[in-house]
Every structure is written in C-alpha cells, then in structure tokens.
Amino acid sequence: MAQQKLGGFRRFVQTFFGKAFLIVLAVVVVFATYVYVDTLLAIPAMLLFGLAIPIWLGLKRPRYLGIMGLVVVLAVAPLSTIVITQDIRAPLSPASSLTDIPGTTAALMQNASVTPYTGTASTNFTWTVTIVPIGGIPTGNSSPLWINLYISTCPGATSTAAPSWCSAGYPFTLLNETFSGNLTKNTTVQFHYQIGTDGIWDWQMGIYTKNLTTGALFFQTLVGDPTYNGIEGPVVGDFLSTYGAVLPTIYFDDALFLGGPFFVILLIYLLFKNRERKRKEAAQRAAGPVPAGGGPPAPPGVPPALSKGPPPGSSAAPAVAERTCPNCNAVVYENETTCWKCGASLTAPPASQPLPSGR
C-alpha cells in the first residue's frame, strides 16, 4: 500500500501541478528556515528540497531543476524582506552601560532610548538616558565630565574615522552635553535632533570620567549589538522605503548563500549524469545491434551476417535502430523515451498504415 501511494505521488509530480507544488514547497521551507530558524541552515534546506527530493521523485531534467533553484532564490528574498523589515521597524529595549566595571556596583548610563523609534524626515527625535553616579562611577574617578551622542548610518561608529565594516564618507553627527558640576543624584539627559533623511540609522552614547590619580580620561559606552556595539534606530521613512533599502542586501545574500551552493551542486550533478550517459551509450555501441529474435549480439570481430540467427520461418523482430534527438541532435535509440543528453521527450515515429485493399 505504501509503495502504491508513493508511486501515485511520483506520477502526480510529473504533471504540471505536481511540479508547481514542489517549487512552492521548496520556497516555503527555505523561507521559513531562512527567517525563523537560521540563515546557514537554509542552505541544506535549499539543496534538499530544491535538488535531492525532486531528483529522487524522478524530476531529473536540468531545465526544471535550474528553474526551481532560480524561483526559490527570487521568491525567498522578497518574502524574507517583509519579515526583516517588520523586525527593523520594531522598537528595541532600552540600553545601559556595563555593570561589571571594577569599582562600580551599577551601570553609569541606564535606560537609554530614542523616541519615536520610527518617523519621517521632519520628525524631531529625542534620545534619553539616565546618569547614575552613586555606584556607577568607578572608584577613584571623578564625577562624569560630559556625555556624547553619536548618530550615523555606520553601526557602532563613534567618529568619522570609518571602522573596518563601513566605507568612509557615511553621515555622522555628534551631540554633546557637558556637566557643570559634580553629579550627586540620578540625572536625566536628553538630546533632540531632526535627522531629515530617510534610512535605517544607528546611534551610540559615550560618557567620560577622569582618574583622580593619573588624570587619564575613562571612556565607556552603552552595550549595543554583539557585532558592532551599535544601537539600531531610529528608522526614518515609511514601510516601503525601509523595505526598498533592505531588499537589495537580502537579494545579494540569497544569491550568494542559497543560489551559489545550489547551482554548483547542480552543475556537478549534471557532469556526473552526462558521464554516466556516455558510458551507457559506449557500452551499447560496443555490444552492437540487437540481433533479430532478441538473441545475443554477434561476438566481436564476427560480422552479423555470420552469426547464428533465428531459425528459418520464425518471426524475427526488427533490430534496434538509432535516431537523433529532435532537440539537440544527440544519437539515441529508438526505444528510448527521453534524450540522455538534454532530457527532451522522444516521440516514436508513427507506424506506417497499410494501403486499403484493392489499391
């Protein structure tokens, strides 16, 4: 029963709707893996549902496999960008500075955030942070001297000197608040700034104290993302503008990490299949034509006319003839249904009709 169901499903996937179903299945699985599981795990998902399963089900034509890979890459990128854009436009939790600095019992900067998180080019954004001097100032250091706000499109940038992950020339703004005296209680600091340009921005804050013994400045920042130590936001522009800004990057990543391995494996598969076909063809040619009656081929070196044929009077079957593929002109045998080289369907020539009696 299980074999009958599998056979029925294999017949189904040979149809137009079956092939379309496999493509949609591959798109859904790769998209879900890419967005909700892990980007790297989407690579084996792409190879499994885009190559292994179709080939196992008998869909071995290179054209279909190539189309499947192309459709998956082209479809997964815009679908993934929808989810990624929603995540980018979702507000982040407030940030604080480190709590494990020697000589401290609390974070010096706490609950730093930007409001609103999304806006337009005319929005006046507000950055807020609370300075906690009691427990936040390292032992032997002065009260906070000043605090900086860094706004740019380069994550984690604290100056115009481009870090290794950003190209030079990115927009950068520095805002400063200097403290006139010693802070003895929690103090809230706010910065107001109108960015004026659509895009996905990043920011960071840095606060300075001074070692009272050496006179050296002590600088610390908020704890940002683990890669660049930046804090994402605000996002300026509507959903479509953010989507358009993210989509090219997702397309590039999908083409590189999903399409690259897929088409390399597909090329290797085609090379092996082509060599296998050539070996089978060479073996068939070496064996010679099938003699009439279905007996064994003539031994090497013995002309077919001298080999033992069917007994007189028996009905001899015609020898297997060769013909060419109508699509690529490869030499194929008459009883083959698909071309070994290009996979095109081979249609047997129509049998000749007998003449009507009396003519």
Among 82-96, 109-123, 286-300, 306-320, name the one with the lowest average pLDDT.
306-320
Q: What is the mean pLDDT of the chain?
A: 87
Q: Distance between CA 231 and CA 106 in Å, rounded?
A: 21
Q: How confident is the model at residue 145 (pLDDT cuts 50, 70, 90)?
A: very high
At 350 the pLDDT is 47
Contact 231, 218 (CB under 8 A): no
With 60 as the cut, is the pLDDT of residue 313 above it?
Answer: no
At 68 the pLDDT is 95
Name the E strands within the chain. Answer: 109-115, 118-119, 125-131, 146-152, 172-178, 187-193, 199-210, 217-221, 231-236, 322-324, 331-333
With 60 as the cut, is the pLDDT of residue 1 above it?
Answer: no
Q: Distance between CA 263 and CA 269 in Å, rounded?
A: 10
Contact 186, 106 (CB under 8 A): no
Contact 65, 26 (CB under 8 A): no
Distance of CA 38 to CAs 35, 222, 333, Å? 7, 27, 48
With 50 as the cut, is the pLDDT of residue 21 above it?
Answer: yes
At 316 the pLDDT is 47
Instruction: Give the three-state DSSP class for 15.
Output: coil
Element (H, E) at 9: helix 2-13
Task: Tell me how far the alpha carbon of residue 348 is from its chain's centroid.
Answer: 43
Q: Which residue has the higher pLDDT, 11 or 308?
A: 11
| Chain position carrying tokens 């494990």 | 100
Share of the chain above pLDDT 70, in %: 84
What domains are there in the chain, each with its CATH number?
2-88+244-272 (no CATH), 109-237 (2.60.40.10)
Q: How confident is the model at residue 278 (pLDDT cuts 50, 70, 90)?
A: confident
At 280 the pLDDT is 81
Contact 346, 336 (CB under 8 A): yes
Q: Distance between CA 173 and CA 158 in Å, rounded?
A: 9
Among 99-103, 202-206, 328-332, name the one with the lowest average pLDDT.
328-332
Q: What is the pLDDT of residues 98-117, one digit of tens each?
A: 999 999 999 999 999 999 99
Mean pLDDT across 150-155:
96
Cis peptide before 171 (omega within 30 of 0): no
Q: Which conformational region is residue 274 in: left (phi greater than 0), alpha (psi within -120 to 50 degrees), or beta?
A: alpha
Q: Which amino acid appears at position 89 of this protein? A: R
